[in-house]
Amino acid sequence: MHWYQINLKEIYQRLNTSERGLTSEEVKRRLEKYGANKLAEEKDINKLKIFLHQFASPLIYILIIAGAITLVLKEYIDSGVIFAVVILNAVIGYIQEYKAEQSVRALKKMLVPKAKVLRDGIEKEVNSEELVPGDIVLLYSGIRVPADIRLVHTVELKIDESILTGESLPVEKHHHTIKDENLTYGDQKNMAFMGTIVVSGRAKGIVVETGMNTVFGKIAKGIREAEAVKAPLQDKIQKFANLVGIFVVVASVLLFVMGLIIGEGIKEMFMTAVAAAVAAIPEGLPMVVTVTLAVGVIRMAKRNAIVRRLHAVETLGSTTVICTDKTGTLTKNEMTVKLIYDGKKIYEVEGSGYEPKGRILHNGLEVDLKKDYEALIETLRIGLLCNESNIYEEDGEFKLEGDPTEGALIVSALKAGLNKAEEEKRYELIETIPFESERGYMATLHKHRGEKLVFIKGAPEKIVDLCRKNFWGEELNKKEIHSIINRFAKEGMRVLAFAYVKVPKETEEISCKEIEQCYAAEGLVFTGLQAMIDPPRPEAIEAIKGCKKAGIRVVMITGDHAVTAKAIGNMLGIGDEKSEVLTGKDLEKMTDEELFEKVKRVNIFARVSPEHKLKIVKQLMAQGQIVAVTGDGVNDAPALKAAHIGIAMGKSGTDVAKEASDMVLTDDNFASIFNAVKEGRVVFDNIRKVVFFLIPTGLASILSIIGAVVTGLPIPYFPAQILWINLVTNGLQVISLAFEPGEKGVIERSPRPPEEGIMSRLMIERTIIVGFLISLGVAYTFMKALEQGESLETARTVAVTTMVFFQFFQAWNSRSEYESIFRINPFSNMFLFLSLIVATLAQIAFIYLPALQWVFRTKPISAEDWQNIILIALSVIVVVEIDKWLRRKRR
């Protein structure tokens, strides 16, 4: 129900209440009917179900089968490693998922424990959970609103609704009925919503919604109902695992049948087929994916991005659209005066935020304020003294106490060299008329050098109307001033006007009536305008440029007004003068099909509600985009959870937003997202490098065994020797590839097509080439050894060593898809360099150490054999280098 549209008399009737509040008996009846004013209790988390869920993956099934097979083969070390990987993955996944399930609980931390109400005509303090529709609640400065309330009476009430709307400035509230249709929460000025904070003033209102029926409760429901989207990487690995599983099973069965056809024994062929299957299964992949993601987590943390869920690391790298808030993320969330008009000239103000550093310029040249700039100084002085806020320094940071608009006025005066303490001493404050939205201005009475002055600041349309002359005593050109005001407003700035009037020396108090009738009849003196904005972060502008180069679209979704949103969007490079801006009102009138078309081209959305933000995100996802969403308020939580990756603000973010997110920015800066995107791309590249290292060699193992069976040759390896190949080549090298540094130009590439799998077309083609090359190379050295009269054990030792060195060189090939290995610093990944040395020493021990000779049935090989092995294995580098060169030319 749109309570803001209903007049107060009708609301009293509908809720059967009065100005004296409800009776205690009536409250009891309504508590039974409506329930407690709290969020629905969550069901206990089923920890066992979450743990078992971690095993529901095809790749895990393959690993379990591989572990069982190695147990049958009595290779207990391999079996132990495989099962350890399975359990490690399950534990990490369990921890992440368990934390995710707790996100809604964070909402409860934001509920107020107490509320002031009128019951039986008496003011009482009660638990907020006991509030019911019809209760009369009293609001005052500093408290959180305990329910959704229709305001009945307000006195200078301002409420910070940023957690619901994202709007940076406190909202001035009133109690009058609003007839407009489809207003967003930010425009419902006669409503106070649960969880928002009263910044100043006081009010009385009727509780109209409680618990899960409040806006806050609906958001909580949305968080619970929003399905956690499966990360693209999870989906890709699942599909990849299915393909690998099918290939391994088919190849193993084919090998077994072929062996039986040519007369091999059932037991021997069964063990060979099983061993070949183990060789082809990339059992190291889940562990390496986890390690690669963990490395990415560490790298991102150094760039102010804390990852809460491992898959988020890669997801960010594949992002095609970033939906971002404006306030605090793209902007500083610190109002700053940028332009000043003194009735004749326009001045630019440098600097941003609350730090009082920056020059005042006219036409690009610094102004010497010691000279003839009285009107400018007077405008700044009025802004400084007709003010109820304060700027203070704490731990090297300048902070605001009070209203952001007033804070900006203090800073602009300080930049001009005015000293607040000295000015307050020179212009002694006698009386204040606080700002009220209905009045449109604030006024203060001061004593200065035996004279009395009234300083006034407020809405330009109100102040200019009260003025007759400018600072120099000339007739005021109101048409010109209004054109300046409109110009500033079109640039998305908030404009305030400043004036003063001299009053009789005996004046000890002032009233609105005197200002608007008596003093205004003679005319207030107009001194100037100050225009302010929450300025864009300079680093965010650069980051958005970088996103465009990287093929990532940036969409701004804000609770601020359309004019402000468009101006900031243009400054940031998200839009331009011709760009369309959609508001929450526009979205209310659209069907899902219309919105689906609009989100393809609209990059700025203003005055939107939480439901609108979620709709926008879902429509982008429906188009096949990989969507990242930023947010800091309760209003953002459903969208954060529904998106592929939710990014919460660490400084300004609520607990709710952080718990619903996949990643938290410690500096609330959009530029950190851009940096994290780069790390995400490096992570996915490294996962692909691991796959390109593992799959061709697994394919070669099966092809070489099938080739031997078909040609009637002895099988080139024992099952135990195949497991040795896996152990010595797929151990440290696989993990070391997770530490590969990012390649040049990684951030300038377009995002990968969302439908592209783990293996690209390039990788598939190169995998087939390399797989066949390795199998042919192994077959050649094996057959040559036999032809030279060497024993079958020696020939098999040669075949195993050839396979091992092929994989060593393949590890180097895997470091880049396009870049020549001769252009890559061999020491840039010391882990890989050292792992190859260790593996080489292990292979030498495999050949010459008596104990290992006995276990694996190996024999020493000659210098000539070594020469053949190295030369043949090096062919994989030559072939891949040629392939890279041809593809670079094609690019």
Give the pLDDT confidence of 219-249 residue by residue, as tens digits: 777 766 655 555 566 677 777 777 877 887 8
Superfamily of domain 248-285+682-890: Calcium-transporting ATPase, transmembrane domain (1.20.1110.10)
Mean pLDDT of 528-548: 91
pLDDT band at 520; cut points 50, 70, 90: low
- Assigned architecture for domain 3-41+107-217: Distorted Sandwich (2.70)
Half-sphere CA count of 19, side-chain side, radius 13 A: 4
What are φ and ψ of residue 420, in 5° steps?
A: -60, -45
Q: What does the pLDDT read at residue 41? A: 60
pLDDT at residue number 70: 65
Short-list 844, 840, 823, CA closest to 832: 840
pLDDT band at 110 (very low <50, low <70, confident <90, very high): very low
pLDDT at 489: 87
Domain 336-533: assigned CATH number:
3.40.1110.10
Does the pLDDT value for residue 137 go beyond 50? yes
Question: What's the topology of domain 311-331+537-675?
Answer: Rossmann fold (3.40.50)
Taking residues 857-886, what's their average pLDDT? 94
CA angle (607 as vertex; 228, 229 as ends), nearest 5 = 10
Is the per-residue pLDDT at 251 higher than 90?
Answer: no
More confident residue, 507 or 95: 507
Percentage of the chain surpassing pLDDT 90? 40
The 10s digit of each residue's pLDDT in 797-821 is: 999 999 999 989 999 999 998 899 9
Mean pLDDT of 473-491: 91
Q: Which of 196, 175, 201 is nearest to 185 (CA)?
A: 196
Amino acid identity, position 55: F
pLDDT at 403: 84
* Residue 586 phi, psi dihedral angles, 5° rounding: -60, -40
For residues 763 and 691, what is the distance between their CA atoms, to the nearest angstrom?
Answer: 9
- The predicted model scores a pTM of 0.68
> Under a CB-based contact definition with an 8 Å cutoff, are residues 375 and 472 in contact?
yes
Is the pLDDT confidence value at 85 over 90? no
The pLDDT confidence band at residue 448, using thresholds 50, 70 and 90, is very high
Q: Which pLDDT belongs to residue 628?
A: 93
Residue 500 has pLDDT above 90, yes or no: yes
Nearest to 226 by CA among 615, 694, 498: 615
In this prediction, residue 691 carries a pLDDT of 85
- Please give the pLDDT value at position 334: 84
Write the secondary structure of 151-164 as one string of H (helix), E (strand) and C (coil): EEEEEEEEEECHHH
Instruction: Give every CB contact of residue 596 below 8 A, 6+ residues apart in sequence.
Output: 619, 622, 623
Q: Is the pLDDT of residue 408 over 70?
A: yes
Cβ contact 34:26 at 8 Å: no
Closest CA to 22 of 116, 113, 117: 117
Catalytic residue among 325, 534, 685, 883: 325
What percentage of residues in the chain have a pLDDT greater than 70? 88
Q: Which of 340, 312, 506 is nearest to 413 (CA)?
A: 340
Examine the residue annotation and report whether 685 is marked as an active-site residue of this protein: no
| Cα 165 to the center of its chain, rounded Å | 18
Alpha carbons within 13 angstroms on the beta-carbon side of residue 376 total 25
Question: What was the pLDDT predicted at 655?
Answer: 62
Q: Return mean pLDDT, the chain.
A: 85
What's the pLDDT tens digit per position in 427-437?
Answer: 999 999 988 76
